[in-house]
Structure 1
Amino acid sequence: MLNIRNVFSRLKKLFSGDVCGLNAKEGTIVAGLFMLMVSIMQLIFEAGHFRYLTPLDTFGSGDNEDSNLYAFCIGSIIFTCLTIIAVILLFLFIWKEIFWGVAGYITWIFLYEISKICFLSVLMPVNSGLPSSVQALEWFGLTMRLLAHIFWMVFVTAYAIELYKISRNTDDSSKTKRKTPPKLKFAKVKEMGV
Protein backbone atom coordinates (compact mmCIF):
# COMPACT_ATOMS: atom_id res chain seq x y z
CA MET A 1 0.00 0.00 0.00
CA LEU A 2 1.23 3.48 -0.86
CA ASN A 3 2.01 5.61 2.16
CA ILE A 4 1.89 9.34 1.38
CA ARG A 5 4.26 10.29 4.22
CA ASN A 6 6.80 7.77 2.99
CA VAL A 7 6.61 9.19 -0.54
CA PHE A 8 7.02 12.76 0.72
CA SER A 9 9.98 11.81 2.89
CA ARG A 10 11.66 10.14 -0.09
CA LEU A 11 10.99 13.16 -2.29
CA LYS A 12 12.38 15.44 0.40
CA LYS A 13 15.50 13.29 0.60
CA LEU A 14 15.77 13.34 -3.21
CA PHE A 15 15.55 17.12 -3.44
CA SER A 16 17.94 17.62 -0.54
CA GLY A 17 20.59 15.86 -2.58
CA ASP A 18 21.10 12.88 -0.28
CA VAL A 19 20.52 10.01 -2.70
CA CYS A 20 22.35 6.69 -3.06
CA GLY A 21 24.58 7.52 -0.10
CA LEU A 22 25.97 10.63 -1.77
CA ASN A 23 25.62 14.13 -0.48
CA ALA A 24 25.27 17.05 -2.88
CA LYS A 25 29.00 17.76 -3.21
CA GLU A 26 29.97 14.13 -3.77
CA GLY A 27 27.14 13.72 -6.28
CA THR A 28 28.33 16.81 -8.15
CA ILE A 29 31.83 15.35 -8.39
CA VAL A 30 30.47 12.05 -9.68
CA ALA A 31 28.24 13.97 -12.14
CA GLY A 32 31.35 15.73 -13.45
CA LEU A 33 33.18 12.42 -13.79
CA PHE A 34 30.17 10.98 -15.62
CA MET A 35 30.09 13.87 -18.08
CA LEU A 36 33.88 13.66 -18.59
CA MET A 37 33.61 9.96 -19.42
CA VAL A 38 30.63 10.53 -21.75
CA SER A 39 32.41 13.41 -23.49
CA ILE A 40 35.52 11.34 -24.19
CA MET A 41 33.36 8.53 -25.56
CA GLN A 42 31.44 11.06 -27.66
CA LEU A 43 34.69 12.42 -29.12
CA ILE A 44 35.78 8.95 -30.17
CA PHE A 45 32.36 8.23 -31.66
CA GLU A 46 32.15 11.52 -33.57
CA ALA A 47 35.69 11.20 -34.91
CA GLY A 48 34.67 7.83 -36.35
CA HIS A 49 32.06 9.56 -38.53
CA PHE A 50 34.81 10.99 -40.72
CA ARG A 51 35.34 7.61 -42.35
CA TYR A 52 31.89 7.93 -43.95
CA LEU A 53 32.80 11.16 -45.74
CA THR A 54 33.86 11.11 -49.36
CA PRO A 55 37.49 12.03 -50.10
CA LEU A 56 38.42 15.69 -49.88
CA ASP A 57 38.98 16.14 -53.63
CA THR A 58 35.29 15.46 -54.37
CA PHE A 59 34.09 17.37 -51.31
CA GLY A 60 33.89 20.66 -53.19
CA SER A 61 31.61 19.15 -55.80
CA GLY A 62 28.53 20.48 -54.01
CA ASP A 63 27.40 17.30 -52.27
CA ASN A 64 24.95 18.63 -49.70
CA GLU A 65 24.78 15.40 -47.69
CA ASP A 66 28.54 15.34 -47.17
CA SER A 67 28.60 19.00 -46.18
CA ASN A 68 25.82 18.39 -43.63
CA LEU A 69 27.68 15.40 -42.23
CA TYR A 70 30.93 17.37 -42.13
CA ALA A 71 29.22 20.28 -40.31
CA PHE A 72 27.58 17.82 -37.91
CA CYS A 73 30.89 16.13 -37.08
CA ILE A 74 32.85 19.36 -36.65
CA GLY A 75 30.10 21.07 -34.62
CA SER A 76 29.64 18.05 -32.38
CA ILE A 77 33.38 17.73 -31.76
CA ILE A 78 33.65 21.45 -30.91
CA PHE A 79 30.76 21.29 -28.44
CA THR A 80 32.15 18.11 -26.88
CA CYS A 81 35.59 19.72 -26.42
CA LEU A 82 33.93 22.74 -24.81
CA THR A 83 32.06 20.37 -22.51
CA ILE A 84 35.33 18.77 -21.41
CA ILE A 85 36.62 22.25 -20.56
CA ALA A 86 33.36 22.95 -18.67
CA VAL A 87 33.79 19.76 -16.64
CA ILE A 88 37.37 20.66 -15.74
CA LEU A 89 36.15 24.11 -14.67
CA LEU A 90 33.37 22.44 -12.65
CA PHE A 91 35.99 20.53 -10.68
CA LEU A 92 37.83 23.80 -10.05
CA PHE A 93 34.61 25.51 -8.93
CA ILE A 94 33.80 22.62 -6.60
CA TRP A 95 37.26 22.86 -5.07
CA LYS A 96 37.02 26.64 -4.68
CA GLU A 97 33.30 26.44 -3.71
CA ILE A 98 32.19 29.08 -6.23
CA PHE A 99 28.43 29.25 -6.72
CA TRP A 100 28.43 30.95 -10.12
CA GLY A 101 30.70 28.29 -11.58
CA VAL A 102 28.42 25.43 -10.59
CA ALA A 103 25.37 27.35 -11.80
CA GLY A 104 27.21 28.08 -15.05
CA TYR A 105 27.86 24.35 -15.47
CA ILE A 106 24.14 23.65 -15.14
CA THR A 107 23.45 26.26 -17.82
CA TRP A 108 26.14 24.81 -20.08
CA ILE A 109 24.67 21.29 -19.82
CA PHE A 110 21.26 22.61 -20.92
CA LEU A 111 22.84 24.49 -23.84
CA TYR A 112 24.93 21.46 -24.80
CA GLU A 113 21.95 19.11 -24.89
CA ILE A 114 19.80 21.59 -26.83
CA SER A 115 22.60 22.02 -29.37
CA LYS A 116 22.99 18.24 -29.71
CA ILE A 117 19.25 17.89 -30.37
CA CYS A 118 19.48 20.63 -33.01
CA PHE A 119 22.53 19.02 -34.61
CA LEU A 120 20.86 15.64 -34.75
CA SER A 121 17.58 16.90 -36.14
CA VAL A 122 18.87 19.55 -38.58
CA LEU A 123 22.39 18.66 -39.71
CA MET A 124 22.10 14.89 -39.83
CA PRO A 125 19.35 14.13 -42.32
CA VAL A 126 18.01 10.64 -42.77
CA ASN A 127 19.61 10.21 -46.19
CA SER A 128 23.12 11.22 -45.06
CA GLY A 129 26.14 9.04 -45.66
CA LEU A 130 25.85 7.44 -42.23
CA PRO A 131 24.33 3.99 -41.90
CA SER A 132 20.94 3.87 -40.20
CA SER A 133 22.43 1.92 -37.29
CA VAL A 134 24.82 4.80 -36.54
CA GLN A 135 21.97 7.31 -36.67
CA ALA A 136 19.92 5.16 -34.30
CA LEU A 137 22.92 4.92 -32.00
CA GLU A 138 23.25 8.73 -32.00
CA TRP A 139 19.62 9.15 -30.94
CA PHE A 140 19.89 6.36 -28.36
CA GLY A 141 23.00 7.96 -26.87
CA LEU A 142 21.27 11.33 -26.68
CA THR A 143 18.24 9.83 -24.94
CA MET A 144 20.30 7.92 -22.38
CA ARG A 145 22.48 10.95 -21.69
CA LEU A 146 19.39 13.12 -21.14
CA LEU A 147 17.95 10.60 -18.68
CA ALA A 148 21.26 10.42 -16.82
CA HIS A 149 21.46 14.22 -16.70
CA ILE A 150 18.05 14.35 -15.04
CA PHE A 151 19.43 12.17 -12.24
CA TRP A 152 22.78 13.96 -11.88
CA MET A 153 21.31 17.46 -12.06
CA VAL A 154 19.52 16.76 -8.76
CA PHE A 155 22.94 16.65 -7.08
CA VAL A 156 24.43 19.56 -8.99
CA THR A 157 21.39 21.77 -8.36
CA ALA A 158 21.32 20.87 -4.66
CA TYR A 159 25.02 21.71 -4.38
CA ALA A 160 24.52 25.00 -6.23
CA ILE A 161 21.74 25.89 -3.77
CA GLU A 162 24.02 25.05 -0.83
CA LEU A 163 26.78 27.24 -2.26
CA TYR A 164 24.30 30.05 -2.88
CA LYS A 165 23.14 29.94 0.74
CA ILE A 166 26.74 29.98 1.94
CA SER A 167 27.69 32.87 -0.35
CA ARG A 168 24.58 34.83 0.62
CA ASN A 169 25.41 34.45 4.30
CA THR A 170 29.03 35.53 3.83
CA ASP A 171 28.04 38.57 1.74
CA ASP A 172 25.83 39.89 4.53
CA SER A 173 28.18 41.44 7.07
CA SER A 174 25.62 41.40 9.89
CA LYS A 175 25.28 37.62 9.61
CA THR A 176 28.99 36.90 9.46
CA LYS A 177 29.85 39.00 12.49
CA ARG A 178 29.53 36.58 15.34
CA LYS A 179 28.96 37.66 18.83
CA THR A 180 31.83 36.42 20.92
CA PRO A 181 31.29 35.68 24.56
CA PRO A 182 32.90 38.04 27.01
CA LYS A 183 36.48 37.25 27.88
CA LEU A 184 36.89 35.66 31.24
CA LYS A 185 39.51 37.09 33.53
CA PHE A 186 41.55 34.59 35.37
CA ALA A 187 43.53 35.52 38.40
CA LYS A 188 47.20 34.88 38.56
CA VAL A 189 48.53 32.31 40.98
CA LYS A 190 49.83 35.02 43.33
CA GLU A 191 46.43 36.74 43.48
CA MET A 192 44.64 33.54 44.41
CA GLY A 193 46.90 33.09 47.40
CA VAL A 194 48.06 29.67 46.50
Structure 2
Amino acid sequence: MFAIPLQARDGETAELRPLEPWQAEEFLTHVDRGRDFIGRYIGFADAAKDLEGARALLQKYADRQAADGGRIFGIWLDGTLVGGVLFVSVDAVTGTAEAGCWLEPAAVGRGLVTQAARILVDWAVDVRGIHRVEWVAASVNTASVNVARRLGMRRDGLLRESFVHRGERYDMEVWSVLAPEWREVRAGRAATED
Protein backbone atom coordinates (compact mmCIF):
# COMPACT_ATOMS: atom_id res chain seq x y z
CA MET A 1 0.00 0.00 0.00
CA PHE A 2 1.18 3.55 -0.58
CA ALA A 3 0.79 6.74 1.36
CA ILE A 4 1.43 10.21 -0.06
CA PRO A 5 2.25 12.90 2.50
CA LEU A 6 0.11 16.05 2.58
CA GLN A 7 1.01 19.33 4.28
CA ALA A 8 -1.51 20.28 6.93
CA ARG A 9 -1.50 24.03 7.54
CA ASP A 10 -0.95 23.57 11.26
CA GLY A 11 2.02 21.19 10.89
CA GLU A 12 0.09 18.03 11.71
CA THR A 13 0.90 14.81 9.86
CA ALA A 14 -1.45 14.10 6.98
CA GLU A 15 -1.46 11.58 4.16
CA LEU A 16 -3.46 10.33 1.21
CA ARG A 17 -4.00 6.56 0.95
CA PRO A 18 -6.32 4.15 -0.86
CA LEU A 19 -9.59 3.55 0.96
CA GLU A 20 -10.64 -0.09 0.71
CA PRO A 21 -13.52 -2.34 1.86
CA TRP A 22 -11.51 -3.80 4.74
CA GLN A 23 -11.49 -0.28 6.24
CA ALA A 24 -15.30 -0.11 6.43
CA GLU A 25 -15.38 0.16 10.22
CA GLU A 26 -12.93 3.08 10.22
CA PHE A 27 -14.87 4.68 7.36
CA LEU A 28 -18.15 4.32 9.26
CA THR A 29 -16.61 5.87 12.41
CA HIS A 30 -15.40 8.79 10.29
CA VAL A 31 -18.80 9.29 8.63
CA ASP A 32 -20.53 9.08 12.03
CA ARG A 33 -18.30 11.90 13.35
CA GLY A 34 -19.30 14.19 10.49
CA ARG A 35 -22.56 12.70 9.27
CA ASP A 36 -24.60 15.92 9.21
CA PHE A 37 -21.78 17.96 7.67
CA ILE A 38 -20.74 15.34 5.11
CA GLY A 39 -24.32 14.56 4.16
CA ARG A 40 -25.39 18.12 3.37
CA TYR A 41 -24.63 17.72 -0.35
CA ILE A 42 -23.41 14.17 -0.95
CA GLY A 43 -24.92 10.74 -0.45
CA PHE A 44 -22.10 9.09 1.51
CA ALA A 45 -23.76 9.80 4.82
CA ASP A 46 -27.00 8.20 3.66
CA ALA A 47 -25.30 5.20 2.03
CA ALA A 48 -23.02 4.44 5.00
CA LYS A 49 -25.53 4.37 7.85
CA ASP A 50 -24.16 1.13 9.26
CA LEU A 51 -21.21 -1.21 8.78
CA GLU A 52 -22.90 -3.09 5.95
CA GLY A 53 -23.62 0.16 4.10
CA ALA A 54 -20.07 1.45 4.63
CA ARG A 55 -18.60 -1.80 3.35
CA ALA A 56 -20.94 -1.79 0.33
CA LEU A 57 -19.97 1.77 -0.59
CA LEU A 58 -16.25 0.99 -0.38
CA GLN A 59 -16.79 -2.26 -2.30
CA LYS A 60 -18.57 -0.32 -5.04
CA TYR A 61 -15.42 1.78 -5.49
CA ALA A 62 -13.16 -1.28 -5.29
CA ASP A 63 -15.23 -2.78 -8.11
CA ARG A 64 -15.03 0.47 -10.08
CA GLN A 65 -11.25 0.52 -9.64
CA ALA A 66 -11.00 -3.10 -10.82
CA ALA A 67 -13.02 -2.13 -13.91
CA ASP A 68 -10.93 1.05 -14.42
CA GLY A 69 -14.05 3.13 -13.82
CA GLY A 70 -13.38 5.00 -10.55
CA ARG A 71 -11.25 5.16 -7.39
CA ILE A 72 -11.52 6.33 -3.80
CA PHE A 73 -8.81 7.59 -1.45
CA GLY A 74 -8.88 8.62 2.18
CA ILE A 75 -7.19 11.55 3.87
CA TRP A 76 -5.73 10.73 7.28
CA LEU A 77 -4.77 13.47 9.73
CA ASP A 78 -2.56 12.32 12.58
CA GLY A 79 -3.62 8.74 11.85
CA THR A 80 -7.39 9.45 11.79
CA LEU A 81 -9.49 9.21 8.63
CA VAL A 82 -11.02 12.70 8.18
CA GLY A 83 -12.11 12.82 4.53
CA GLY A 84 -11.11 11.89 1.05
CA VAL A 85 -11.06 12.42 -2.66
CA LEU A 86 -12.31 10.19 -5.40
CA PHE A 87 -12.89 9.63 -9.03
CA VAL A 88 -16.65 9.22 -9.19
CA SER A 89 -16.08 7.94 -12.70
CA VAL A 90 -13.24 7.38 -15.12
CA ASP A 91 -13.81 6.80 -18.82
CA ALA A 92 -10.45 6.02 -20.38
CA VAL A 93 -12.01 5.63 -23.85
CA THR A 94 -13.30 9.22 -23.94
CA GLY A 95 -10.50 10.52 -21.71
CA THR A 96 -12.88 11.98 -19.14
CA ALA A 97 -12.98 11.59 -15.36
CA GLU A 98 -15.11 13.18 -12.65
CA ALA A 99 -13.35 13.97 -9.37
CA GLY A 100 -14.88 14.88 -6.04
CA CYS A 101 -14.22 15.18 -2.32
CA TRP A 102 -15.64 15.11 1.20
CA LEU A 103 -14.44 16.12 4.68
CA GLU A 104 -15.59 15.99 8.25
CA PRO A 105 -15.66 19.35 10.09
CA ALA A 106 -12.40 18.75 12.04
CA ALA A 107 -10.41 18.75 8.79
CA VAL A 108 -11.90 21.83 7.12
CA GLY A 109 -9.60 24.76 6.33
CA ARG A 110 -6.32 22.87 6.32
CA GLY A 111 -5.80 22.70 2.56
CA LEU A 112 -5.89 18.91 2.53
CA VAL A 113 -8.58 18.41 -0.11
CA THR A 114 -6.96 20.79 -2.57
CA GLN A 115 -3.60 19.03 -2.21
CA ALA A 116 -5.17 15.58 -2.51
CA ALA A 117 -7.24 16.62 -5.54
CA ARG A 118 -4.10 17.95 -7.24
CA ILE A 119 -2.49 14.55 -6.77
CA LEU A 120 -5.53 12.89 -8.35
CA VAL A 121 -5.56 15.25 -11.33
CA ASP A 122 -1.80 14.81 -11.80
CA TRP A 123 -2.28 11.04 -11.86
CA ALA A 124 -5.24 11.25 -14.24
CA VAL A 125 -3.44 13.50 -16.71
CA ASP A 126 0.12 12.17 -16.45
CA VAL A 127 -0.41 8.46 -15.84
CA ARG A 128 -3.85 7.60 -17.25
CA GLY A 129 -3.81 10.05 -20.14
CA ILE A 130 -7.14 11.60 -19.17
CA HIS A 131 -7.87 14.71 -21.24
CA ARG A 132 -10.74 16.23 -19.23
CA VAL A 133 -11.20 16.16 -15.46
CA GLU A 134 -14.58 17.37 -14.24
CA TRP A 135 -15.75 18.60 -10.85
CA VAL A 136 -19.52 18.71 -10.23
CA ALA A 137 -20.84 20.43 -7.11
CA ALA A 138 -24.05 21.93 -5.82
CA SER A 139 -23.92 25.71 -6.28
CA VAL A 140 -24.61 26.20 -2.58
CA ASN A 141 -21.63 23.98 -1.69
CA THR A 142 -19.19 26.87 -1.81
CA ALA A 143 -16.39 24.84 -0.22
CA SER A 144 -16.43 22.34 -3.09
CA VAL A 145 -16.81 25.07 -5.73
CA ASN A 146 -13.81 26.84 -4.19
CA VAL A 147 -11.72 23.67 -4.50
CA ALA A 148 -12.48 23.62 -8.24
CA ARG A 149 -11.37 27.27 -8.45
CA ARG A 150 -8.15 26.59 -6.50
CA LEU A 151 -7.41 23.71 -8.85
CA GLY A 152 -7.54 26.14 -11.76
CA MET A 153 -10.68 24.64 -13.27
CA ARG A 154 -13.09 26.63 -15.38
CA ARG A 155 -16.82 26.74 -14.82
CA ASP A 156 -18.48 25.07 -17.81
CA GLY A 157 -22.03 25.72 -16.79
CA LEU A 158 -24.95 25.27 -14.47
CA LEU A 159 -27.39 22.36 -14.47
CA ARG A 160 -30.49 23.94 -12.95
CA GLU A 161 -32.19 21.87 -10.25
CA SER A 162 -30.64 18.72 -11.70
CA PHE A 163 -29.74 16.94 -8.45
CA VAL A 164 -32.20 15.74 -5.84
CA HIS A 165 -30.73 15.09 -2.40
CA ARG A 166 -32.80 14.45 0.70
CA GLY A 167 -35.90 15.74 -1.04
CA GLU A 168 -34.36 19.03 -2.15
CA ARG A 169 -33.42 20.05 -5.69
CA TYR A 170 -30.00 21.62 -6.21
CA ASP A 171 -28.42 23.52 -9.07
CA MET A 172 -25.19 21.76 -10.00
CA GLU A 173 -22.12 23.56 -11.30
CA VAL A 174 -19.87 21.74 -13.74
CA TRP A 175 -16.20 22.71 -13.62
CA SER A 176 -13.38 21.19 -15.66
CA VAL A 177 -9.75 21.36 -16.59
CA LEU A 178 -8.25 19.97 -19.79
CA ALA A 179 -4.87 18.24 -19.78
CA PRO A 180 -3.01 21.10 -21.56
CA GLU A 181 -4.57 23.63 -19.17
CA TRP A 182 -3.62 21.48 -16.19
CA ARG A 183 0.01 21.39 -17.30
CA GLU A 184 -0.02 25.21 -17.58
CA VAL A 185 -1.63 25.62 -14.15
CA ARG A 186 0.90 23.23 -12.63
CA ALA A 187 3.82 25.01 -14.30
CA GLY A 188 2.54 28.37 -13.03
CA ARG A 189 2.16 26.99 -9.52
CA ALA A 190 5.69 25.55 -9.62
CA ALA A 191 7.10 28.88 -10.82
CA THR A 192 5.53 30.76 -7.91
CA GLU A 193 6.82 28.16 -5.41
CA ASP A 194 10.43 28.54 -6.57
Structure 2-normalised TM-score?
0.29
Structure of greater Rg: 1
Structure 1-normalised TM-score?
0.29
Q: Which has a greater percent of strand?
A: 2
Q: Which has a greater percent of helix?
A: 1
